[in-house]
Amino acid sequence: MGMDVGSHKGGVKSDINVTPLVDIVLVLLIIFIVITPAVSNAVSLPLSKQSFKQEMDPGSKYLSLILTRSNEKDPETGLYKMKDVQVDDRNAKDKHGNPLVFGFEKKEQRESLIKYVKDNVDNLRGDKRVFIKADSELPFGYVNELFQICREAGADEASVVTSEDKSAKEQ
């Protein structure tokens, strides 16, 4: 505490010295700024790996699509490129007996996928939901584009399906 010198008659000045308080707050702020990036980078969440084989039985209640990736990576980003969209139904075959596959990079492919999703969503009673299976190494932009296609086709909701990581259980 300091002494008040001036026109007043003697006495003690009762103001609080805030300098030590400011010093402590600044030190704590610096500590939090330094520690925060180290803490947030230390947490790693395991993401699911999808199998690209058809698993659903015919006559299921929901439409399920598998977003497959190619084996080549984009040289700039290091992420896998999208290959095509496959229908997750063992009986979904094209006229040659192959699994039903769509692309959406070309306009005609996109329109045929929209038509297929629309036809199947219209057949669902009540809950017009589409499930999308995608690999964790695939950029989310592809998944988002498939969401938009489902929305265009009249689906009420599109959800990403994750699966249990079987490799973690084996260890």
Check pLDDT > 60 for residue 123: yes
Check pLDDT > 60 for residue 136: yes
DSSP β-ladder status, 63-73 and 157-161? unpaired
User: What is the pTM assigned to this prediction?
Assistant: 0.58
Three-class secondary structure of residue 67 per DSSP: strand
Check pLDDT > 90 for residue 24: yes
Instruction: Give the pLDDT band (50/70/90) at residue 53.
Output: low
Q: What is the pLDDT of residue 169?
A: 52
Three-class secondary structure of residue 87 per DSSP: strand
Per DSSP, which regions of 29-156 are E strands?
63-73, 80-87, 101-102, 129-134
Of all residues in the chain, the percent with pLDDT exceeding 70 is: 73
Instruction: Give the pLDDT band (50/70/90) at residue 132.
Output: confident
Instruction: Give the pLDDT band (50/70/90) at residue 40.
Output: low
Check pLDDT > 90 for residue 19: yes
Check pLDDT > 80 for residue 147: yes
Q: Return the closest-CA partner of residue 102 out of 127, 129, 66.
A: 66
First to last CA, the chain: 66
Mean pLDDT, rounded, for 28-33: 93
Instruction: Give the pLDDT band (50/70/90) at residue 25.
Output: very high
Q: What is the pLDDT of residue 55?
A: 52
Euclidean distance between CA atoms 63 and 56, whole angstroms? 10
Q: What is the pLDDT of residue 27?
A: 96
